[in-house]
Structure 1
Amino acid sequence: MHESRSVDRRAMLKIAGGSVAALGLTTAGCGGGAGAGDGTVTLRYSWWGADDRAKRINETIKLFEKKFPKIKIKTDFQPYPDFWKKFNTQASGGNPPDVFQNAIGFLRKYDAKNVLLDLHPQAKAGHLRLEGFRAGLEKFGEVDGKLLGVPVGSNSMALVIDKNVYTKAGVKPEQGWTWDEFDAALKSISDKTDRAGDSGMYGVMYLYDLYLRQNGKAFFTEKSLGFTEADLKQWWEKGKKDTESGLVAPTKKVVQAKPKSAVTAELAAGEFTWDNFTNRYTAEGKSEYGLAPIPTTDGKKTGQYLGSLMLSGSKRTKHPKEVAQFIDFMVHDPEVAKIMGYDRGVPSTTSQYEAFKPTDPVAKEIAAYEESLVAAGVLEPITPHPAGADVCEMAFMRLAEEVGLGTRSVDEAVKQFFTESKTALGS
């Protein structure tokens, strides 16, 4: 559901959404990791991220190889868009890595292409533990009865705010506040400070999903879109109105500020994003930033769920047992959590969650925010995204931005979105 912080989300999705078949074949042969005459096997492990994540992961691999001396790990990492470009090429050639980082938006896509290993048999054989996960996360990677990914960390949507601006405006968000109260907060911020209230929430697909879930729908069903053209027209018309009134920052200025956030660029007092991205704001900006609850329709239901990065296995691997053992170690071993911290979100298992106690204020706030969601009882299951969901997200962001810039009317944008999405989803 996330990453990388430094790369434009639309560029990522454009690359990741490309057809595996269209990207050609690799020159290498098929199959998984290599085996040696002494029984040692080598697994290829790929992930996306920056140098700091690579350093941490390499430390965890040293621990794994010490515990499992007959399993060697060959690593490969790329920035987010480069990862999916390379992965698509490997998959099209029948040579994907044995184990790799994955996300909810790609499970059905690659399952349909016969790429992902069902890990349930390995769990039944005792090579992968599915107990000890927080808040039902062990079910997060299940699709149509198959276990296609195992969570390594969790995150959830939140409202990241500039605390100083909110305080100046006299706004104090609390769990259960409504969209009407949120709108009043935006007006108070706009009236009492030099900022707009929000950076442009109407192009955030995952936020719109929560809004729909609050109203008995969802962005996706298992095979198609879960809302109507009339629903989206109402959402984007409000976005256009709020932008024109100054409650939401001007889209042109938000675009010009990229890759910097509109919040740290001091255009807006807040924006909706994943809770574990809070580190970005502290690194970019000069103010104090924090997490506020998602507004609700009825004062109770937020529609939220815990998202997650996952580890998946290749269906082509020659070593499914060893893949499962590697994943089990990475999600359960306490020492791994002490090394990784919250780099990939809050640890998904209780053993790792309890092993790492954050000391910096940002990580503490992320942990407290997710604990508050569990305590409030607002978390729900997520519907696994259908194949083509990544293309829908890219279209949603692009068209919402065009509405904000005034280069496309709401009616045109809505019709174009449904046209592109139905093509991508095959519905």
Structure 2
Amino acid sequence: MAPVNPRRPLAAAATALALALTASACGGGGSAAEDGVVELRYSWWGADDRHSTLQQVIDIFEGQNPDIRIVADYTDWGSYWDKLATATAAGDAPDIMMQEERYLREYGDRGALADLSQLEGLDLSKIDPLVAQSGDLDGATYGIASGVNAYAVLADPEAFEAAGVELPDDETWTWEEYIALAAEITEASDGDIVGTQSIAYNEQGFQIFARQHGERLYNEDGTLGFSEETLTAWFEMTQELLDNGGQPAAAQSVEIEAGGPDQSVLSTNTGAMAVFWTNQLGGITESSGREIELLRFPGESTGDRTGMFFKPAMFYSVSAGSDHPEEAARFVDFMLNSNEASELILSDLGLPANVDVRGHILSSLPPADERSAVFLAEIEDSIVDGNPPPPIGAGQVVEITKRITDSMAFGDLTPQEAAQQWISEVEAATGSQ
């Protein structure tokens, strides 16, 4: 599956989108061929294996729905958003499209997406309630989650054993214990095994921390939903890990982050812990050659509330300009609710958002994905709620977070200064001052 948290700068795509969506989103998608068959265009991003799988799914759907023809329209992640923005501006948006949470509000607010709750033939009754409303804005449903993931701590039991340190009880451990544990592993192994990889590069980690404090990253209206004190405390933990050796030094952290999951301390057998999405467990397990375990975030039992959440892997959306919205809804229903589709897709679009379908494919998943599914089931009862779609401009937060984290790690900013700069830059990027 393509990473849920892509690291490509998104500013260029956001600019193209803003320009494109000033044009009308009317017209476009869908046509009726001479043989009376309705033709719909379905756009997605991904690698070749995803393209091959989804074409098989399309073939099954067309066999069951001979009055509909699905035209596949796919590309890589890097080209997808510019292409979609251009097509939308030209009034030629695809009838069905894959959406990502950073862009859903932009397209929805500008009238480019249909309200799925108003379309006949789309059954949303079996969608996991923790993500069922994740695509809702101002009373309309602009996206339905294809599947779910959770942000979690991944741990290497062999690294813990080599350092002579026991794995933590992830139902009770605190942030203080996490910091101390990381330092203990580094010290016990004479630096051969680092305790943890930096967790400050991804704002989703802070999202969990803020939720544990009764706050959130973004409010429903797109404004920031946390205090400067909470963000400062988050950066202070990273500073403490730098000071006590629990995580790699600044220069090494930059290299590790640039290398992605394949160069993580877990994949290279040089560290005991790191934070990733549950859907990345399979790749890291394969790279490491070890049985990596999933753990809850520290602080889940000691905060004001639990902070972990289910994140929509991606969304299904329908163009507001489609000439055949009911037929488009029928296809989305098939993708969400049919066992035939799920048996091919498995967890490539996240573990299915339909809870019955998720259970149906559990025994067919690769071992790592099956462990992820079990982990999601274990934490589900402790999850309080989901998060609203991020504000327009949230795509820029990825690079803002990385840059400020590096500046602090190299000693150019204190944790408080890092928090103040992060808030200032994110408010400017999202227009939420």
1:137 and 1:298 map into 2 onto residues whose CA distance is 22
Contact 1:120 1:147 in 2 (8 A): yes
Deviations 1:352-392 (CA, angstroms, capped at 9, x unpaired): 21321235320221111001012x43342222222222223
Matched, 1:55 2:67: no
CA deviation after TM superposition for structure 1 residue 411, in Å: 4.8
CA deviation after TM superposition for structure 1 residue 272, in Å: 1.3
CA deviation after TM superposition for structure 1 residue 19, in Å: 4.2
Contact 1:334 1:351 in 2 (8 A): no
Matched, 1:294 2:294: no
Decide which moves more: 67-76 or 393-402: 393-402
SS at match of 1:202: coil
Aligned to 2:178: 182
2:157 and 2:129 map into 1 onto residues whose CA distance is 29
- Aligned with residue 145 of structure 2, among 147, 151, 155: 151
Aligned to 2:218: 220
CA deviation after TM superposition for structure 1 residue 394, in Å: 2.9
CA deviation after TM superposition for structure 1 residue 198, in Å: 1.5
In structure 2, relative to structure 1, the CA distance for the partners of 1:262 and 1:81 (3 Å cut) is farther
- Aligned with residue 278 of structure 1, among 277, 281, 284: 281
Q: TM-score, normalised by structure 1?
A: 0.90
Q: TM-score, normalised by structure 2?
A: 0.89
In structure 2, relative to structure 1, the CA distance for the partners of 1:18 and 1:244 (3 Å cut) is farther
Specify every segment of 5 or more residues in structure 1 that has no aligned partner in the other structure, as ranges.
Answer: none
1:245 and 1:142 map into 2 onto residues whose CA distance is 43
- Aligned with residue 28 of structure 2, among 28, 31, 41: 31
SS at match of 1:18: helix
Aligned to 1:117: 114
Matched, 1:246 2:245: yes
SS at match of 1:11: coil
CA deviation after TM superposition for structure 1 residue 25, in Å: 10
Paired residue type of 2:292: Y
In structure 2, relative to structure 1, the CA distance for the partners of 1:87 and 1:66 (3 Å cut) is same
Contact 1:165 1:269 in 2 (8 A): yes
- Aligned with residue 311 of structure 2, among 296, 307, 321: 307
CA deviation after TM superposition for structure 1 residue 302, in Å: 2.7
In structure 2, relative to structure 1, the CA distance for the partners of 1:392 and 1:241 (3 Å cut) is same
CA deviation after TM superposition for structure 1 residue 181, in Å: 2.3
Contact 1:116 1:313 in 2 (8 A): yes
In structure 2, relative to structure 1, the CA distance for the partners of 1:17 and 1:240 (3 Å cut) is farther
CA deviation after TM superposition for structure 1 residue 15, in Å: 4.3
Contact 1:47 1:100 in 2 (8 A): yes
Aligned to 2:166: 170
- Aligned with residue 84 of structure 1, among 70, 75, 81: 81
CA deviation after TM superposition for structure 1 residue 231, in Å: 2.7
Q: What percent of counterpart residues are identical?
A: 27
Decide which moves more: 72-81 or 335-344: 72-81
Decide which moves more: 268-277 or 402-411: 402-411
CA deviation after TM superposition for structure 1 residue 298, in Å: 4.1
> CA RMSD for the aligned pairs?
2.5
SS at match of 1:248: coil
Matched, 1:382 2:387: yes
CA deviation after TM superposition for structure 1 residue 20, in Å: 1.4
- Aligned with residue 370 of structure 1, among 366, 369, 376: 376
Aligned to 2:232: 233
- Aligned with residue 355 of structure 1, among 346, 354, 360: 360
CA deviation after TM superposition for structure 1 residue 208, in Å: 0.4
In structure 2, relative to structure 1, the CA distance for the partners of 1:399 and 1:95 (3 Å cut) is farther
2:272 and 2:12 map into 1 onto residues whose CA distance is 31
1:51 and 1:230 map into 2 onto residues whose CA distance is 45
Matched, 1:346 2:351: yes
CA deviation after TM superposition for structure 1 residue 264, in Å: 1.2
Aligned to 1:207: 205
Aligned to 1:192: 188
CA deviation after TM superposition for structure 1 residue 315, in Å: 1.2
Matched, 1:316 2:315: no
CA deviation after TM superposition for structure 1 residue 154, in Å: 0.9
Aligned to 1:393: 398
Number of residue pairs aligned between Structure 1 and Structure 2: 419
Decide which moves more: 356-365 or 303-312: 356-365
Paired residue type of 1:261: S
Paired residue type of 2:277: W
CA deviation after TM superposition for structure 1 residue 250, in Å: 2.2
SS at match of 1:269: strand
Paired residue type of 1:185: L
Contact 1:219 1:225 in 2 (8 A): yes
In structure 2, relative to structure 1, the CA distance for the partners of 1:221 and 1:25 (3 Å cut) is closer
CA deviation after TM superposition for structure 1 residue 10, in Å: 3.2
1:147 and 1:425 map into 2 onto residues whose CA distance is 22
1:218 and 1:43 map into 2 onto residues whose CA distance is 39
Aligned to 1:46: 43
In structure 2, relative to structure 1, the CA distance for the partners of 1:118 and 1:24 (3 Å cut) is closer
Specify every segment of 5 or more residues in structure 2 that has no aligned partner in the other structure, as ranges.
Answer: none
SS at match of 2:91: coil
Contact 2:311 2:386 in 1 (8 A): no
SS at match of 1:64: helix
Deviations 1:245-296 (CA, angstroms, capped at 9, x unpaired): 2111223223324132232133432111211111120232233312111111
SS at match of 1:139: coil
Aligned to 1:105: 102
SS at match of 1:100: strand
1:286 and 1:164 map into 2 onto residues whose CA distance is 11
Aligned to 1:413: 418
1:152 and 1:312 map into 2 onto residues whose CA distance is 10
1:337 and 1:161 map into 2 onto residues whose CA distance is 29
SS at match of 2:132: helix
